[in-house]
Amino acid sequence: MSSFWQKLKTTLEMIKFEHTVFALPFAFLGAVLAANGLPSWPQILWITVAMIGARSAAMSFNRIADRKIDGENPRTANRELPSGKLSVEFAWAFMIASCILFFIAAFMLNRLTLYLSPVALLSVLGYSYAKRFTSFAHLLLGWALAISPTGAWIAVRGAIDSEIPLLLSLLVMMWTAGFDVLYACQDYEYDKKKGLRSIPARFGIKGALRIARLFHLQAFIVLILLYFVTGLGWLALLGVLATGVLMVYQHTLVRPDDLSKMNAAFFTANALVSVILFLTFGGAVFLAKI
């Protein structure tokens, strides 16, 4: 039994399960905005299952695709596949099971969700090879995460009948691309040496930090548009302001000559952004009903 729990713990470490906090609040926000309140409990359940399935499949496939690269990179050499903590065969089996779980959840939601589920899955899996072909792979990662709020909207309404989910998805896309550029700065030397494509490898760390700021500025502009389109009042405005402060704070933590605070910038600030927007915009939906 202890070996089972140890393998489960190692599997969750492989897929970085704790990073679900980045995307899941946006999916829930998309669902709350679509329902103009609380979605049904079955919808909440199956949206959660779909998110867990899609993300687990994506991370497993990413680890499989990158296992040789990870093994050669000192920062990632101790990851579960290159270090031998988990076998490649197990990772494949876990990925396939996660895909099946995702499709079951899509089937349980509605017809359009099921029809679009292969597009969503191919998007989140395809990112794993993007850095072999384009320096702007960060935007493709942004697209993969951006699917979640519009997907949740479709799960609730069965249609894209408003600009709201599209604005929310665009916000997630640019926000994700910005913080992924920051994170990729840690692998600048390795990516250059191995010919891997990324914005830091192409434009240097100084240029990459400027581009990350531009992406986050674009995300903030979209957030302001989302606020005006939803018209959700003072609580949502508080979320806009708090998000702006966090984005600025994130960029004060990293400099071209000092990336030592990258973990604080990446994990703390980004986890707070998604949670704050869910609580403020989502809370504003319920407040408007009082």
State residue 251's pLDDT score: 85
CATH architecture of 2-287: Orthogonal Bundle (1.10)
Task: Count the alpha carbons within 13 Å of 25 in the hemisphere toward its beta carbon.
Answer: 19
Mean pLDDT of 238-247: 94
Mean pLDDT of 109-116: 96
Q: Domain residue spans in the chain?
A: 2-287
State residue 19's pLDDT score: 66
Read off the pTM.
0.89
Q: What is the pLDDT of residues 197-209, one digit of tens each?
A: 889 888 999 999 9
Q: What is the pLDDT of residues 156-191, one digit of tens each?
A: 999 999 999 999 999 999 999 998 898 888 887 877
State residue 186's pLDDT score: 81
What's the gap between Cα 175 and its chain centre? Answer: 9
Mean pLDDT of 133-161: 92
Mean pLDDT rounded to a whole number for the chain: 88
